[in-house]
Every structure is written in structure tokens, then in C-alpha cells.
């Protein structure tokens, strides 16, 4: 055996769902670059390449030490020739490489100012995107997510007492910031959750807390969406993409202690984009995803909406390739036994899949 073979690399499992991936790790310079390249490939519709870069990045996140030489990469899974070549190029002229890649994909986007200047016709979602562009670029903090959690809880309990609300996505995985806040809502009495979303959004709208929302209805039917159907990662829960109007907290605007006549900008449907929401305002726009799940699917929905996206993808790949099972955010189907496997907890789902349970904080693949 050669002296310079890295034992951690030798032990690296090849599926992300077999590994522990912490939020803070030792290779963020490399993984940031690989993820920029992945995003690039995604914008160019090259999904295969994009996933390859994401897998490579994810392996480096799980490594318990910093990569110091190309030698370190040799025995790692998922680091194909292409990723290795990219890393080699980037480590030579690193800052330039990252910045150039960064600029390259950013220039492909038109700026919101351009859109306003040219008076483009925009749909309601695009208008909201332009109007709240600056706010939506700013990361959402955990503290803001907690305030939003309180609001969502209040809204849900006002319209359906006994409903359960769970924070999902990156914040459930322990992230300090996110691009949005995700919630999963259910009720222990199956059926009570039906038609819940419009009630929630109406309540929020009446309180002047919503800047934008678009709800899509639940369309899941076990018979149709089960094994007979081509695999599809989009789930079919009742779901709401929204933008919340979050009032600045008391501490962060001490200066004007006599608060604050809310300017409730009701969603009047002008076609011309309005000016962007200004920086010095006493509120900010925050993207929020709400999902409603029937109680019997709650464990699968919880697993499916916790992420990370790569962790989810790898779970599905593991299920299919290694276990002949099909996993979605609704159900787990065993193709050998021809039956759906019921679960009340995430732990049970990991057990069905023959995987060691990995807690949310270590699903940051």
C-alpha cells in the first residue's frame, strides 16, 4: 500500500444518503466553485453535468479534512475526470476562476432596473420578483425565520385549531440563513387538512401580511402516481409560493419607537412594473413556501422537504437502484413486494431503505 493514500477518502461512501454531511466543512473554497459550475450547467440545461458537479462538491463536504493535493482526490467516489480537471484549473488561478464563472452566469440575467426602464410587460409573479428584487436577494436569517414561524403558526391555528406546523428546508437542517422559509402543515385527523391553504392565505391577506401568493392544489392520487407513473420529483401537495411582508423587529428600528401605520399595498394588477421597494423601509419582503400534507403522508413529506436537494435526489437513487423501491414525498413503494410501505416517522423510512438514520443537521449534502 502506498503511504499517501488517504483513509478518509478510502472510506467515503458513494451515495450522499450514506454519508454525514455537516453544514460547516473543510473544503468550501472548492465546493463553492463546483456549485457555481453546477448552477451554470443547470442554466444551460445540462442536467447531467450539473448533477456531476453537485455530487463532486458533496463528496468534498463530507471529507473530514481539507483537500491539499490532487493526490487527495484520487480515491474519492463521484470525482470524475471533468471535476478533477476543473479543480486543478481552479486551484491554480483560484480567485479569477471563481469570479469569472460568477460574472458569467450573472450577466445572463437582466437587471430589474433594465426591466423597469424598458417597460416590459410582466406577469404578476415577475412583477413581484422585480418589485422586491433587492429584498429577495438578501438572505433570510434564522431570527427572521422564527418571526415568520410565529406568524404562520398564528394564521394556521386561527383557521384550523389542532393543526401541526413544522419548519422545513435549510432551517430544519440548522442553516443560519436561507433563500426562503419552508413550512409543512398537517392535521392529525386525516381530511381536516383539505382546503386549508386558501383559508390560511385569506387570513394572512386580511392581516396585510402577504405581498404575493400563488397556491397550487393537491393532485396526488396513490393509484395514478404510484409505480405505474414515470418517476417525477415534483410532488403534488397543496402548495403556496408566497412573499411575506415582514415588519422590522423592535430592536432593529429603535429610532422610531412610535410605530407605524402599515402601508398595505394591496395586489392591484398594474401591468407596468412599479418601482422597486426601497431599502430604508420598515419592512422587508421574504419568500415563504407553505405545503399542506395529509397526516398519513406526513413522514414522507417531512423527509422530502427537509433537503438538501442533493440528499433527496440521492435517497431516491438509492431507493431505486439498491432497493428496488420508489420514494417520493408522498410514499415509499416496494416494487419487489408490490406494496406501499407505511411510515409515521423519518426513522422508519430510513429503516425500510436499509440506511442508518441521518438527522436533518447532517443532510447538508
**By CB under 6 A, is residue 175 in contact with ligand GTP?**
yes
Stretch touching ligand GTP by CB under 6 A, among 32-40, 61-69, 204-212, 305-313: 305-313
**By CB under 6 A, is residue 217 in contact with ligand GTP?**
no
9 versus 315: smaller Cβ distance to ligand GTP: 315
CB 161 → ligand GTP: shortest distance, Å? 27
235 versus 346: smaller Cβ distance to ligand GTP: 235
CB 175 → ligand GTP: shortest distance, Å? 5
What is the C-alpha R_g of the chain?
A: 23
Identify what 329 binds: Mn ion, ligand GTP, none; CB under 5 to 8 Å per kind.
ligand GTP
Near ligand GTP by CB under 6 A: residue from 15, 283, 298, 305: 305
Give the x-and-dash track for 44-83 against ligand GTP (CB under 6 A).
----------------------------------------
CB 40 → ligand GTP: shortest distance, Å? 18
Which of 6, 135, 180, 235 is labelled catalytic?
A: 180
112 versus 307: smaller Cβ distance to ligand GTP: 307
Q: What are phi and psi of 167, to 5 degrees?
A: -75, 130
Which of 6, 72, 135, 182 is labelled catalytic?
A: 182
CB 49 → ligand GTP: shortest distance, Å? 19
**By CB under 6 A, is residue 166 in contact with ligand GTP?**
no
- With beta carbons less than 8 A apart as the criterion, state whether 211 and 128 touch: yes
**By CB under 6 A, is residue 180 in contact with ligand GTP?**
yes
The residues binding Mn ion (CB under 5 A) are: 169-170, 178, 180, 182, 289
Q: Among this protein's residues, is 6 annotated catalytic?
A: no
Print the SS3 string covering the chain.
CCCCCCHHHHHCCCCHHHCCECCCCCCHHHHHHHHHHHHHHHHCCCHHHHHHHHHHHHHHHHCCCCCCCHHHHCCCCCCCHHHHHHHHHHHHCHHHHHHHHHHHHHHCCCCHHHHHHCCCCCCHHHHHHHHCHHHHHCCEEHHHHHHHHHHHHHHHHHHCCCCEEEEEHHHHCCCCEECCEEEEEECCCCCCCCCHHHHHHHHHHHCCCEEEEEEECCCCCHHHHCCCCCCCCCCCCEEEEEEEEEECCCHHHCCCCCCCCCCCCCCCCCCCCCCCCCCCCCEEEEEEEEEECCHHHHHHHHHHHHCCHHHHHHHHHHHHHHHCEEECCCCEEECCCCEEECCCCHHHHHHHCCCCCCCHHHECC
Stretch touching ligand GTP by CB under 6 A, among 29-37, 117-125, 152-160, 175-183: 175-183
Identify what 309 binds: Mn ion, ligand GTP, none; CB under 5 to 8 Å per kind.
ligand GTP
Q: Among this protein's residues, is 334 annotated catalytic?
A: no
**By CB under 6 A, is residue 294 in contact with ligand GTP?**
no
Cell 440563513, residue?
Answer: 177
Cell 410532488, residue?
Answer: 235
Q: Among this protein's residues, is 289 annotated catalytic?
A: yes
CB 303 → Mn ion: shortest distance, Å? 15
Task: Classify burial at 202, counting beta carbons within 10 Å of its beta carbon; exposed 0-12, middle 13-18, buried 19 or more.
Answer: middle
Strand pairing report for 210-216 and 283-292: unpaired
56 versus 315: smaller Cβ distance to ligand GTP: 315
**By CB under 6 A, is residue 234 in contact with ligand GTP?**
yes
Stretch touching ligand GTP by CB under 6 A, among 194-202, 231-239, 268-276, 292-300: 231-239
Query: Segment 312-331, which members bind ligand GTP (CB under 6 A)?
Result: 312, 329
Q: Which residues bind ligand GTP (CB under 6 A)?
A: 169-170, 175, 178-180, 182, 233-235, 289, 304-305, 307-309, 312, 329
Active-site positions?
180, 182, 289
Amino acid at each position: 500500500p502506498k503511504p499517501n493514500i488517504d483513509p478518509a477518502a478510502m472510506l467515503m461512501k458513494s451515495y450522499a444518503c450514506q454519508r454525514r454531511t455537516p453544514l460547516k466543512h473543510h473544503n468550501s473554497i472548492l465546493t463553492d466553485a463546483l456549485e457555481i459550475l453546477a448552477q451554470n450547467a443547470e442554466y444551460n440545461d445540462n442536467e447531467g453535468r450539473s448533477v456531476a458537479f453537485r455530487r463532486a462538491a458533496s463528496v468534498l463536504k463530507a471529507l473530514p479534512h481539507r483537500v491539499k493535493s490532487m493526490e487527495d482526490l484520487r480515491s474519492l467516489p463521484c470525482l470524475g475526470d471533468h471535476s478533477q480537471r476543473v479543480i486543478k484549473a481552479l486551484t491554480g488561478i483560484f480567485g479569477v476562476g471563481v469570479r469569472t464563472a460568477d460574472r458569467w452566469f450573472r450577466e445572463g440575467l437582466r437587471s430589474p432596473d433594465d426591466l423597469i426602464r424598458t417597460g416590459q410587460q410582466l406577469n404578476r409573479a415577475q412583477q413581484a420578483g422585480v418589485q422586491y428584487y433587492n429584498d429577495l436577494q438578501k438572505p433570510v436569517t434564522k431570527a427572521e425565520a422564527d418571526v415568520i414561524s410565529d406568524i404562520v403558526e398564528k394564521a394556521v391555528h386561527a383557521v384550523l385549531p389542532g393543526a401541526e406546523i413544522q419548519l422545513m428546508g435549510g432551517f430544519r437542517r440548522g442553516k443560519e440563513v436561507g433563500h426562503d422559509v419552508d413550512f409543512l402543515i398537517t392535521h392529525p385527523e386525516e381530511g381536516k387538512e383539505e382546503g386549508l391553504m386558501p383559508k390560511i392565505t385569506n387570513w394572512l391577506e386580511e392581516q396585510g401580511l402577504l405581498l404575493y401568493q400563488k397556491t397550487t392544489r393537491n393532485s396526488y392520487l396513490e393509484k395514478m402516481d404510484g409505480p405505474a407513473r414515470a418517476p417525477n420529483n415534483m410532488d403534488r401537495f397543496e402548495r403556496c409560493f408566497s412573499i411575506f411582508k415582514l415588519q422590522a423587529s423592535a430592536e432593529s428600528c429603535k429610532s422610531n419607537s412610535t410605530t407605524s401605520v402599515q402601508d398595505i399595498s394591496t395586489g392591484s394588477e398594474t401591468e407596468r412594473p412599479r418601482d422597486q421597494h426601497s431599502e430604508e423601509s420598515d419592512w422587508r419582503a421574504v419568500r415563504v413556501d407553505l405545503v399542506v400534507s395529509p397526516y398519513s403522508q406526513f413522514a414522507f413529506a417531512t423527509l422530502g422537504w427537509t433537503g438538501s436537494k442533493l440528499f433527496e435526489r440521492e435517497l431516491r437513487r438509492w431507493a431505486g437502484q439498491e432497493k428496488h423501491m420508489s420514494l417520493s414525498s408522498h410514499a415509499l413503494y416496494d416494487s419487489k413486494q408490490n406494496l406501499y410501505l407505511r411510515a409515521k416517522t423519518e426513522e422508519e423510512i430510513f429503516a425500510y431503505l436499509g440506511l442508518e438514520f441521518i438527522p436533518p443537521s447532517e443532510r447538508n449534502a
